[in-house]
Chains A and B, each alone.
Chain A
Amino acid sequence: MNQENAAKFCAGCGYSVILMILNQVLAAQNVQDKAVMGLDIGCSLLGWNYLPINTFQTHHGRVVPTMLGYKRARKESTSVAVVGDGGAYAIGWQSLFYAARRDEPITVIVVNNSVYAMTGGQTAPTTVCGQKTDTHPAGSCEESFYGPEILKTIVKPGAYLARSAANDPKGIFAALEKAVQTQQAGHFSLVEILSFCPTNWKTTGKATFDYLENLKKIYKIGEV
């Protein structure tokens, strides 16, 4: 696995599994050296010294424009932006939308745990109806935010959009492999991965898995 440093994610968080699989995909494609991973702010930032690949942190919502700038300057690189659902679909949505629309050849990994987790569990665009959060103590009921499905309406042929889940390592591997290949073919790719957040979901054991299974009913797994 070549993990460089101990993970600093909460116990039960999905990030460490997702990043480990990303590293496996990059190794399998023999692009670890050419790969560079940009991290948004939020829980993603904790991945800064985790993998044996070039990694740097950016600002909240700004990892996508940073990584497309990197890619345009270094076309042979594999440019990966790792971002949470708030960074991708709220504060960074404008940049993500236009990066997809322009078919920027980068790979965006959106880790969707349905909350702002680093700040303690506030409502995110992906928060599901009835879910109680710090900013909606009585439960929010906005329409769920279907990032890949919305982007599907504006991407160019050749782009790849998919959703996977943190309890399906094979599915994540397959999706990220396709995403990296899509970038190499010169197109935009985004994989949303439904992820565990027992800390903010306030769940333990089976309840955490049940929570994820419920998310999977709302956010459909597979290529979009």
Chain B
Amino acid sequence: MQDVKKLATGHEAVVEACFDAGAKMMYGYPITPTTEVFTGWIKKGGEYLQTEDEIAAGFAVCGGVIAGQKAFTATAGPGHVLMQDALSMAEGMRLPFVAIIGQRGGPSSGTVIYSQQEVTLACFGGNGEGLRLVYSPSTIEELYFLTRVAFNSAWKYQYPTIVLTDGYLLKSRGVFVADKTIENAESYPLVKEGEKKHWRNIYTFEEELNEAVVRNKKDFDSIKKEVARSENYQTDDAEILLVAHGIVGGAAKDAINELRKKGQKIGLFRPITLRPFDNEAFDKIAMRVKKVVIVESSLGQLAQIVRAEMAPEIATPIEYIQYPALGIEAEKIVDYFL
């Protein structure tokens, strides 16, 4: 099949990607800005259940995927907090759990459209070790593509998988190309009829839990090369390296175009997966630039990841542009450098 060019909102792109990924069931609870993912899925005829809260939605997804069904959910902000209970079970039991998260920030009920304040929650929420796959799309086209990739990664590697977006991108409308050539990973039951599987997620001894966590981390590290994604933009001769994810990554590109016209040698490293972070690709550039500038709509949630992942021998100075909860347009970034 050919790639198809479409005019659509972010919501519509996500819903189309879920259908194209072979998703069969959505459990949801209305919350801005992901309500339209739910209602869009329903309008297109997807099987669904509106649960009593995000806790039930999350655990019903757990039950569905254990049975072998491509089930998923979508939520935001306070719902994302409640979802951590089920995401933690999915991390512990290695469930192919897919969640679309539309960040709305916080603390508390936050706002409803724009934020990058749910990065830590998506990557490291729950009582666990952050063994999750977290994708951060920057355009509607990437929202479609990474939603497809998320289902495949979840069912291939069995980690909870999050498409971390925001209300701004979900509500934007634009032309995008839906890549219809992507092949889908097959779903399969994690409990087979009659196999008498005895499956626990609570351990009697600390040593047993230690073994399980170490094994899961080892697997996580071993898939990193296949899973980790990033984009380099104008980095070949760059002396300043911006780091930005999601839609801020898009604004950063516009800012770079402006600043280059003014003679600045500036480029962008854009992590597409926040977990696992593509540290090899990042380090290669970070070690040769004069400074790294991390730009985000939060007080350093991306910066925490970058600092933790950067090789300790890299001494490049790091600066921060942080506007928690605010939209970051190209001008804001350009102004920083003038």
C-alpha spacing A172/B201, complex, angstroms: 28
- For residue B64, which residues in chain A have a CB less than 8 angstroms away from its CB? 69-70, 72-73
Scan A39-75; emit 1 where CB is below 8 A from any B CB, else 0: 0010001001100111111110010011111111110
C-alpha spacing A77/B146, complex, angstroms: 33
Interface of B (DSSP majority class):
mixed
- Chain B CB within 8 A of A4 CB: yes
* Stretch with Cβ within 8 A of B (4 or more), from A30-38, A126-134, A139-147: A30-38
- For residue A3, which residues in chain B have a CB less than 8 angstroms away from its CB? none
The distance from the CB of A146 to the nearest CB of chain B, in whole angstroms, is 21
Pair A67/B63 contact, Cβ less than 8 Å: yes
Using a Cβ–Cβ cut-off of 8 Å, how many residues does chain A contribute to the interface with B? 35
C-alpha spacing A8/B85, complex, angstroms: 26
Pair B52/A56 contact, Cβ less than 8 Å: no
- Which residue on A lies nearest to B59, using beta carbons? A65
C-alpha spacing A74/B63, complex, angstroms: 10
- For residue A57, which residues in chain B have a CB less than 8 angstroms away from its CB? 199-202
C-alpha spacing A55/B196, complex, angstroms: 7
Pair A69/B62 contact, Cβ less than 8 Å: yes
- For residue A135, which residues in chain B have a CB less than 8 angstroms away from its CB? none
The distance from the CB of A43 to the nearest CB of chain B, in whole angstroms, is 12
The distance from the CB of A33 to the nearest CB of chain B, in whole angstroms, is 4
Using a Cβ–Cβ cut-off of 8 Å, how many residues does chain B contribute to the interface with A? 41
Pair A65/B63 contact, Cβ less than 8 Å: yes
C-alpha spacing A70/B66, complex, angstroms: 7
The distance from the CB of B62 to the nearest CB of chain A, in whole angstroms, is 5
What's the A-B contact tally at a CB cutoff of 8 Å?
122
Pair B196/A53 contact, Cβ less than 8 Å: yes
- For residue A32, which residues in chain B have a CB less than 8 angstroms away from its CB? 194
* Stretch with Cβ within 8 A of A (4 or more), from B12-20, B67-75, B261-269, B328-336: B67-75
- Chain A CB within 8 A of B280 CB: no
Pair B199/A73 contact, Cβ less than 8 Å: no
- Chain B CB within 8 A of A214 CB: no
- For residue B89, which residues in chain A have a CB less than 8 angstroms away from its CB? 58-59, 62
Pair A33/B51 contact, Cβ less than 8 Å: no
- Which residue on A lies nearest to B66, using beta carbons? A70
Pair B60/A69 contact, Cβ less than 8 Å: yes
Pair B60/A4 contact, Cβ less than 8 Å: no
Pair B59/A72 contact, Cβ less than 8 Å: no
- Chain B CB within 8 A of A29 CB: no
Pair B191/A54 contact, Cβ less than 8 Å: yes
- Chain A CB within 8 A of B56 CB: yes
- For residue B68, which residues in chain A have a CB less than 8 angstroms away from its CB? 73-74
- For residue B63, which residues in chain A have a CB less than 8 angstroms away from its CB? 38, 65-73
Pair A4/B198 contact, Cβ less than 8 Å: yes
C-alpha spacing A54/B196, complex, angstroms: 4
- Report 11 cross-chain contacts, Cβ distance below 8 Å, ordered by A residue: A36-B191, A48-B199, A48-B200, A54-B193, A58-B59, A58-B62, A65-B59, A70-B63, A73-B64, A73-B71, A74-B189
| Apart from A34-B194, A65-B55, A95-B56, 18 more pairs, CB < 8 Å | A4-B196, A33-B193, A41-B202, A45-B200, A53-B196, A54-B194, A54-B195, A55-B197, A55-B198, A56-B66, A57-B201, A58-B89, A59-B59, A62-B86, A69-B62, A72-B49, A77-B67, A97-B52
